[in-house]
Amino acid sequence: MASADGALSVHSEDDKDAGGCKLNASSQVGDGEMSQKNATLNRNSSQPQKAKKKKKARVNRVARPNYTVHEGEDMLLVISSSTAQYDGSAWAPKRKGCKKRKVTKGKGKSIPTKRKKLMTALVVKQKEEMPEFVLEAPSDHRWGQMLPEEVLVNIFKMVVTQDGAVPFLCRVGRVCRLWNVAASSPVLWRKVSLGHCWIATGKTQLPKTESKIKYTIDWLAQKRFSQLREFSLHHWTKNVNYAVDVVSKFCPHLGALTLSYCSGLTEVGFQSLGLHSCSLQSLNLQYTEFQVEGLLSYLELYGCQIRQIWFTHGLKNDRLLTAISRGCCRDLELLEVNTKLDSKDGELPICIQALQTACPKLKLRVLDLRGCSRITSAGLAALPCHDLECLFWGQYFSSHGGSSSLKKGLHMVTQKWNQTLQQLDIANQLFSEEDLEVAMSHLARATEGNTLRSLNLSGTRITTSALRPLIGQTTALNYLNLSSCRYLPRGLKRIYRGQEDIRQLLDKLE
């Protein structure tokens, strides 16, 4: 058995491919494999086993607050950063198609799987520790599409009140269907102002551009202006008649029309206003070129519905004042006629007594007579208005203020309106010292809560004896102009702003 085993062993090692020894050789090899496995097990059991690396527990990171804290001298300012697009922000939707970065193992540290955040909270050093605010990041990023329509309309209304309906509503209406429905609410389109934004100033208007303008006006009037109350055009040199005609036809509730720095409004536009705009009560044509005959015809037929009117004085517009003074606007409550700074049309020819008689409802709150040379105190005191708040009667032109003759009767003006006057300007008016002292005493004896807030006495003959009771009894006065007053001591001839500054003047006068 031993020799046979030995012959078998020699044969199996020298000729491993021999067929006759296949069975024995395979069994021998099987025993060898078993022995190798046993040896490996023994070797592994003898060597100390390496400890497996424990996985780190996942720590949920707290969402960073979406606000920034700034420290001032005596307060903390918390500024919301709701539009910040850092990771986890509810305001930035996730990008589509973005794949996560693979973590590669190596000698160095692993590459971070998340991108760095764009915004971090500032650390504020304070004497007392601030409590830690933990804000949970919302998981839904479609907040703008899930708000109720009524909420969106109220939000849009606040923006429209501050910035106007155009172009805000046109832009937000393109965000999504919900925002388009909310922006289309007629409640938001009650006050609209359109500027000439299609072409640059001074350039000609092409036919294609003109057709786009007309199409836009038609679309807005039919789709958005069903509850329009106030409509304004600014810097329109063409298509003014067309815009006025379309708006008057499709806007039955139109109550105020403003045309500023426009030109081209003719009798056709005024006729359209008269036929369709039965609710129109306010007409503002300041700095606008229009056909005077067209406006006169409109006022003769429909002037009874006009409550407020504005226009710029010119040689062609004198007939408007004549027509209003004859009584074509019996219910007129406000009339404002301004002049351009570079105007050479001369003085404004108006009879205040005739105007007040023709328009008994005229609320004469502000009377600006600066530059008028033939106004007397007796004429002002005879006016039938009793609630005048602002009287501007200063002389600022050498051609009118160069006369050295004294005026009288200012005390009649201040006695008439001492309970309602809030602003009084009599700069460079040559009233006597005695008249000024009596006039100031009437203002000081006002019993309606000291309404006087602004007083301009520049270049007058005011004295310290006239100022002392006035400043001592008027508590609402916060502007006092005493520049170029020759009858005052040196050091007092200046402008005083604020009640504290005026109180210091009172100490100097005493």
Q: Look up residue 118 and give its two tokens.
A: 């764009």
Query: What is d(CA 10, CA 309) in angstroms, rounded to the nearest whole number?
Result: 129
Query: What is d(CA 390, CA 364) in angstroms, rounded to the nearest whole number?
Result: 9
Cβ 125 vs Cβ 100: under 8 Å: no
- CATH homologous superfamily, domain 214-336+356-363: Ribonuclease Inhibitor (3.80.10.10)
Determine the pLDDT at residue 184. Answer: 92
Determine the pLDDT at residue 124. Answer: 42
In CATH, what number does 144-189 get?
1.20.1280
Strands (E) in 94-226, as ranges, are 191-195
Going by their DSSP bridges, the two strands 256-260 and 263-265 should be labelled as unpaired
Determine the pLDDT at residue 85. Answer: 38
Q: Look up residue 258 and give its two tokens.
A: 């403003």
Determine the pLDDT at residue 231. Answer: 95
Question: pLDDT of 46-74, one tens digit each?
Answer: 455 555 555 555 655 545 545 454 444 44
Determine the pLDDT at residue 455. Answer: 94
Q: How many CA atoms lie within 13 A of 363 on its CB side?
A: 7
Any idea where the domains of the chain sit in the sequence? 144-189, 214-336+356-363, 365-399+406-510
In the predicted model, residues of the chain with pLDDT beneath 50 are: 1-41, 45-46, 62, 65, 67, 69-94, 103-128, 133, 399-402
The answer to whether domain 365-399+406-510 has CATH 3.80.10.10 is yes
Determine the pLDDT at residue 479. Answer: 94
Going by their DSSP bridges, the two strands 67-71 and 76-80 should be labelled as antiparallel
**Same-fold call for 144-189 versus 214-336+356-363:** no
Cβ 493 vs Cβ 485: under 8 Å: yes
